Amino acid sequence: MMAISQAMCTSFKAEILDEQHDLAADTIKIALYTSSASLGAGTTAYSTSNEVSGSGYTAGGVALSSTTVATSGTTAYFDAADPSWTSASFTANGALIYNDTNADKAIAVLAFGGDFTVAGGTFKIVFPAAGTNAIIRID
């Protein structure tokens, strides 16, 4: 069993300082992974290795919608609508948010803390509230 560790990807931190991402305009996607995946701060790009498969899921995941880049106090953040997969049957242990427009470069890894299974229903990831609790933020 590999491990999925929640983190903002280290490569992303350097890439934003080098102006390689436009989170307000680029297509940002989220892909789901099984517990066999090895994802964490060192992840640099989207990969199909140990990506979820099953009904209602397409390799590469889904594009995030209603994306926003904003500030709250001294915190800059990225937010999006909660992604979901309908008529789905699969098990996921974590996710990778990545920039589909920019060579599938990794942005952040989400660790679910265990397997979550959906059988013929809707699988939804609920992001924290925008602002100082946003899933992707620079404090």
Whose CA is closest to 83, among 135, 137, 23, 16? 135
Q: Is the pLDDT of residue 10 over 70?
A: yes
d(CA 23, CA 95) in angstroms, rounded, equals 18
Say what the pLDDT of residue 2 is. 67
Q: Is the pLDDT of residue 1 over 80?
A: no
Burial zone of 93 (CB within 10 Å; 0-12 exposed, 13-18 middle, 19+ buried): buried
Q: Dump pLDDT digits (tens) for 114-128.
A: 999 999 999 999 999
d(CA 76, CA 116) in angstroms, rounded, equals 30
Predicted TM-score (pTM) of the model is: 0.96
Q: Dump pLDDT digits (tens) for 73-109.
A: 999 999 999 999 999 999 999 999 999 999 999 999 9
